Structure 1
Amino acid sequence: MYNHTTRVIENKMEENFERETVIKNKIHIPRKLPSSLVRKTRSPFWKKLIKSIEKKEAETTLEIVKTIDKQKKFLFLPHPFLEAIDTFAAKSIRQGMCNFIFFYDSSGQNQWILCQCTSFVDAIFSSTYSGKHKSSVNDELLLAAIKRVFKAEDKADAKQCGIEKAIFSGYLLDQTRPYHHFYDQLKWLIHLQTKKPIVSDKSFFAPKYYKRNPSFSKNYPTFSMFPLVIGSNQLGIKLDKYSDQMEKIVYKDSLKDLYGGIINYRWNQAIRTLKQLPAKNKTLTLWFGISGQKRIWVEQEDFLPALVQQLKPWFDSFVFFIDGYTQYECTTNDHPIKGMKQTGISQDLEIVNSIRQKLLPFSNTHIVNLVGQTYRKKIQQCQSVDFFIANAGAGQLTPHRFCKKPGILHSNEKHCVFSMGINNTTVKLVNKSLVNDVGNLFTKGKNIEAKPAGLGFISYSIDVQVIINMTADMLKLKK
């Protein structure tokens, strides 16, 4: 609760702020961002917007952001801390998970910077005050990002040719983490009902009815925004009407892909043919999620051979869709995958190959490798799946959230996304009492000494028999 002690601490932080080093154009970067943004704003527009974010008033915030979206060629917003001063957007710079939009008044003065991360505004930087609101993401992420921006800007100073109004070119739909892409960005892009295009070279998924990467006159600079309202984490990681509509659109739009639809149709026909054979030739089609990076299930490579061995009395053949790293949708030869994304795909492929080798003694198994495919292609393939086993992070998105298949989720002792979506009937989570965390195995082999890590990186051990028993029970396999 906000109290007198909190106010005193924030006042001291603001006093320290005045002693910070001035960084380019009088923008100050404090050592720590105070959470008093709503109190410091003088503009009624910004005060209302920030209050609605802090109070988790999604509908109110959405309507305010819609008014911004409806502005035409250029974007004009009131200065947050100076009364009766209008400012225009001059440029934007993307850095990590943040997007920074630079504003100036008509004389090129009174600069301020809007920082977007998971909500429409997470922080604002200016010469008079820099701070965040009470539900913003952590300081380290925001401050590290803006420091990198100014470091790069200093190197580019020689190329600066004055300050101009920038054309609002469109939305950056390209968060590097799937969860944030869908539930922080795409969810709100859909509900903005915007006519503005998507201007991203890298995006996990975008409905086909959106315009992509338009060309603009070189006479004006351009800027872009994240399509944000209130971050999913700030709303409590709950499934609401906004998420529900987004999931339905992703699912339906994926199945409209004609070429993919033909492939999917033929594959489903083959699966149905197998399933229509006499009972002695019954096939289990299982979606199996793996991870070669963070939150690794240590026994994942041994699970499928053990499952086949124990389910032989009920199934004569098995089709395993092995899912891992997902590719950006608009990756082309002009924008090849590289860096961490390529490393992640390579690590997952090593696991697929290991599982393939361990299944060699079983001639009645077939693997469909989905590592490196797009969400659109994965959703198409998932149509023929009977059951899924996946991690409770982004690994659940295709089978659980988009395709609504029955299955089992697993994770470390503390991490679970969308626990509200687990109904314990068609979708169950492995009981945490049966999970043993083993530490951080991120990007390393499974024999290294466990290291301390955040919840998102902790790997874990679950006896394969636990999940086999759950599978048999949920499939109602009786001896």
Structure 2
Amino acid sequence: MSKAIQDFLNDLKDWQKNFTIQEYEFEKYNCEIAQIARMQNNNDIDGLVNFWNEKVKQEYFEIKHPLYNDVVLRAVFSSKEPLLENYVFLIDKENKYPCLWLQATHCINAIVVEKRIFVIKEPWNDDVALTWTKLMMTRFAKENIINLYHRDIAFAFTLKNTRPWHFFSEKMYVIQHLDSNNKLVESTHSFFTPKQFKSITKSKIKDFVLFYPSAIPMFIGLLKEVYAESIQDREKIVKKDSFNYDLILWLGLPGEKRAWLEQIKGTALILKNLSKYFKTIKVYVDGMTAYDGQRQDFPENKVLFHKVVKATKEAFSNLKYDLSLDELNNDVIKQHANLNNSSNEFCYAKDNKANLCMGGGHCESFIYDADELQGLEQEQSEEFKKLSLFFNLNTINSNNDTSSNALSSNSNKNSTLIVFKSLVGYDYRSKICFCDDCDMAVSEPGTATIVPMLLCNKPNVHYYGDKRMPMSQNSKRSISEKYVLIAGSSPFFHANDFHIPPQHLYNLTAEVLEELAKDDKLKGYKNGVDSKGNTLIMHRLKVPPVELIAKQYELEQKNNIDISLENVALYTELEQKINTLNTTIQDQNSNLNQQLQRGKAKDRIHNHLAYKLGSALITCSKSFFTYISMPFILSYIKAQHKLSNEKYQKAITNDPSLKLPALESYPDYQEALKEKECFTYKLGSALMYADKTWYKGGYIWFYFEAKRLKAEFINKKENL
């Protein structure tokens, strides 16, 4: 290892002392790094792609020094475990000019050379690139690198990344526009590797210097290609369903960083209301995604999925439904003439298999995990035969109607089938194939929108905890901010849990479905109507205040029981009354304490500032430590006494009854007067006088007065 490289490594160990942060003035230099900095500032992504396409023609990665443009650097080492950022070490042929190149969101985020740090591009104006650079220098200084010198080592690309949003926005555009014949890619931890690229085996990674194929963050240009390649495998991945579903819904539930806190019961509420119009519903529940071509286990996501399925079963098993007719608009009531007008509640069947039914009659609900249903089908169980009878594809088609909006009095038309399919741990290719069948999606912004919105272009209802979350332009509906309440306190806007009334999400979903039916984009609708000439007009729910929803969640978590919104409102009212009563009791106790404190005039005298100061003077003179601390202690006593008096004056202004009576009215008044003649009181009074007359030599006077008072006190004590 050359001396220059060794010195560079040593300097990195204490980079705070040895390096300065400077701006890279790319206009002054004639080199590719300066050109990259310029293109990044101008968002010239095509220029950056051309840069990479020129580089892939070379076996080795070589580039001019960012400051000394006559020096050519070669990449000879890179981090082998990139997470969101990758760093590359470059050196010249003479091993004199070491350089570190940081990649994260851009082609170059920072360069480190000759005791200088050049931040080339900050992605979010929060110094994150500088933070990454500092981490890079610390990590690189600790690396145990043997072959750190100019040598022949080929370069390739790595697609390793832990965050899908960053992967697709920062890597995919360049990869899709690269000449795939010239370079290999390391793709063992890639979320999507185009099939035309040849991959490096894990055992061969050490033989390459790895670069991120980064340019600038951008989604444009990657959507069609990723979708088109993935959908080719649809027949292999998506097995044909035994049932024909009226509605296929994509549900993206946050499983990491942040959570919609009502998502478990909220999903059940949404589906229960949708089941009034859609007899057979399939729900794809999205979650964490595996790397390309893999299946991974994410236990926490799976737990959430099973909780949603369980909550939905429980919601459909309730014997009553808290939706009254006054919450439906008149068009809905007119259209569905078979509503039971004698009651303001929808009726339910028995045997814990109840469903929202129109006009009474027998109705059952069947809620399954897709794996559970598959097991019943393989066994050809009695339950599956019953399902085949109720929801047989041929039976539905014989009526020339695949929409449950056409409500029927027949028993099978009053029953509901909901099948949940977990996509937790699937890769993006598989998720795209499943999502292709969906009618619409309900999901959080950010990563959760990659499949339904950015790749499959499905109509979507967005919900979020913070409006700064990245939104898709394809969103049909987004929640109203007045129905969002942040529950966390993280300084990172994307890391807080949040509350949203599920009633609001249902209403938005209903709006989207009505539009889809009107545009003939829902199964069974043509020219905006179903086979019976009915348009899809769905009811709306009253949306409670989000604060009430948050209180409901808090109480349910605290007591581990379900609590209705009505009881939450009652509880809140009682809680306010109890708090008011507690405040009244506390005030009464405080008044009583003050009454008790009035008991003796002697105590009042002891509360005078003169007595407090005198007592402190006597106490502080007993040790060296307290003696030297005396000025601070006396100042503190004076400040506290002043504050106490101010509080007292404010209290008696608000409530004159709290005013203390005159000392003369106390039975021990005469005895209390003696306290004013004691050494302690006189000493404190003398100090107060000295403080007022300091400019006349008050403190010199106090010195002799204190000695006189002490002698007087000793004489009196001896004469007793």
The answer for the alignment partner of 1:352 in structure 2 is: 305
Whole-angstrom distance in 2 between the partners of 1:329 and 1:95 = 17
* Number of the residue aligned with 1:75: 61
- Is 1:36 paired with 2:23? yes
Match of 2:184 in 1: 197
Which residue pairs with 2:431 in the alignment?
378
Q: Does 1:368 align with 2:430?
A: no
Q: How does 1:178-257 map to 2 (within 5 A)?
A: 178-195=164-181, 196-213=183-200, 221-232=207-218, 243-257=219-233
- Name the residue aligned to 2:357: none
Gaps of 5+ in 2: 1-5, 318-364, 367-416, 515-535, 539-720
Q: Deviations over 1:306-349 (max 9, x none)?
A: 123222331112211111111111448xxxx6xxxx6xx21111
3-state SS of paired residue (1:245):
coil
1:144 matched residue in structure 2 = 135
Matches of 2:469 and 2:147 in 1, distance apart?
A: 49
1:438 aligns with 2:438: no
Matching of residue 97 in structure 1 with residue 84 in structure 2: yes
Using a 3 Å threshold, how does the CA distance of structure 1 residues 176 and 216 change in structure 2: closer, same or farther?
A: closer
The DSSP-based 3-state class of the residue aligned with 1:115 is strand
User: Is 1:125 matched up with 2:112?
Assistant: yes
- Give the letter for the 2:285 counterpart: I
The 8 Å contact of residues 191 and 427 in structure 2, kept in 1 or not, is answered as yes
Which residue pairs with 2:70 in the alignment?
Answer: 84
Indicate if the aligned counterparts of 2:83 and 2:160 stay in contact, CA closer than 8 A.
Answer: no
SS in 2 for 1:130: strand
The reply on whether 1:65 has 2:60 as its aligned counterpart is no
Structure 1 231/400 Cα, relative in aligned 2: closer, same or farther at 3 Å? closer
**Aligned CA distance change for structure 1 residues 383 and 331 (closer, same or farther; 3 Å):** closer
Determine if the alignment matches structure 1 residue 286 to structure 2 residue 249. yes
Contact 2:93 2:150 (C-alpha < 8 Å) held by counterparts: no
User: Deviation digits for residues 123-154 of structure 1, max 9, x if unmatched?
Assistant: 01112422112535432233123312322x1x
**Which amino acid in the other structure matches residue 248 of structure 1?**
K
Aligned pairs for 1:387-466 within 5 A: 387-422=440-475, 427-439=476-488, 451-466=489-504
Q: 1:305 is matched with which residue?
A: 268
Structure 1 residue 35 displacement after superposition = 5.5
Cα distance in 2 for partners of 1:41, 1:112 equals 19
Q: One-letter code of the match for 2:290?
A: Q
Counterpart for residue 37 of structure 2: 50
Q: Which moved more, 1:311-320 or 1:400-409?
A: 311-320
- Secondary structure in 2 matching 1:453: coil
Quote the Cα distance in structure 2 between the aligned partners of 1:55 and 1:316.
Answer: 53
2:277 aligned residue (314, 322, 330):
314
> Which AA in structure 2 matches 1:176?
T
Which residue type is aligned with residue 68 of structure 2?
Answer: L
TM-score scaled to structure 2, two decimals?
0.53
Q: Which has the higher helix share?
A: 2
Cα deviation per residue 1:184-221 (whole Å; 9 max; x = unaligned)?
A: 00122112334312113211111212111159989x94
Note the 1:267-282 alignment, pairs <5 A: 267=241, 270=242, 274-275=244-245
Aligned to 1:445: none
Q: How many angstroms apart in 2 are the aligned matches of 1:83 and 1:311? A: 66
Q: Decide whether the 8 Å contact of 2:106 with 2:121 is kept in 1.
A: no
TM-score w.r.t. length of structure 1 = 0.78
Aligned partners of 1:204 and 1:327 also within 8 Å: yes
Q: Which has the larger radius of gyration?
A: 2
Match of 1:168 among 138, 148, 154: 154
Aligned equivalents of 1:330, 1:388: Cα separation in 2: 24
Matches of 1:191 and 1:161, distance apart in 2: 33
Deviation at 1:382, TM superposition (A): 1.0
CA-to-aligned-CA distance 1:107-133 (integer Å, 9 cap, x gap): 222111111111111101112422112
What is the alpha-carbon distance in structure 2 between the residues aligned to residue 146 and residue 330 of structure 1? 34
CA distance in 2, matches of 1:45, 1:60: 11
Bigger drift between 118-127 and 27-36 goes to: 27-36
Q: Distance in 2 between matches of 1:385 and 1:88?
A: 50
Structure 1 stretches of 4+ with a deviation exceeding 6 A read 215-218
Deviation digits for residues 255-295 of structure 1 (CA, Å, limit 9, x no counterpart): 122xx52342624xx45xx15xxxxxxx2211111122222
- Which residue number corresponds to residue 340 of structure 2? none
Matched, 1:24 2:14: no
Q: 1:284 to 1:162 in 2, by over 3 A?
A: closer
User: Retained in 2: the 8 A contact 1:29–1:130?
Assistant: no
Matched, 1:468 2:500: no
Preserved contact between residue 359 and residue 365 of structure 1 (Cα < 8 Å):
no
Residue 185 of structure 2 aligns to a residue whose secondary structure is coil
Partner of 2:529: none
RMSD over aligned Cα atoms? 2.7
Letter in 2 for 1:142: T
2:582 matched to which residue of 1? none
Question: Does the 8 Å CA contact 1:122/1:133 hold for their aligned counterparts?
Answer: yes
Counterpart residue identity of residue 168, structure 1:
A
CA distance in 1, matches of 2:512, 2:31: 55
Count of residue correspondences: 404
Assess if the C-alpha contact under 8 Å between 2:77 and 2:148 holds in 1: no
The answer on whether the counterparts of 2:465 and 2:497 sit within 8 Å (CA) in structure 1 is yes
Higher relative contact order (CA closer than 8 Å, sequence separation 6+): 1
Matched residues in 1 for 2:148 and 2:452: separation? 51
Q: What is the CA-CA distance between 1:246 and the residue it aligns to?
A: 0.8
Deviation at 1:171, TM superposition (A): 0.9
Equivalents in 1 of 2:274, 2:83: separation in Å? 46
Corresponding letter in the other structure for 1:430: I
SS in structure 2 of the partner of residue 384 of structure 1: coil
Q: For residue 37 of structure 2, what is the amino acid of its counterpart?
A: I
Alignment partner of 2:255: what SS? coil
Return the alpha-carbon distance in structure 1 between the equivalents of residues 131 and 272 of structure 2: 49
> Structure 1 residues 313 and 53 mapped into 2: Cα distance closer, same or farther (>3 Å)?
same
Q: Deviations over 1:341-389 (max 9, x none)?
A: x6xx211111111111112234121110101111111111112211110
In the alignment, what sits opposite 2:289? 326
Change (3 A) 1:419 1:435: same
Equivalent-residue separation in structure 2 for 1:144 and 1:251 (angstroms): 36
Please say which of residues 221-230 and 133-142 is displaced more in the overlay.
Answer: 133-142
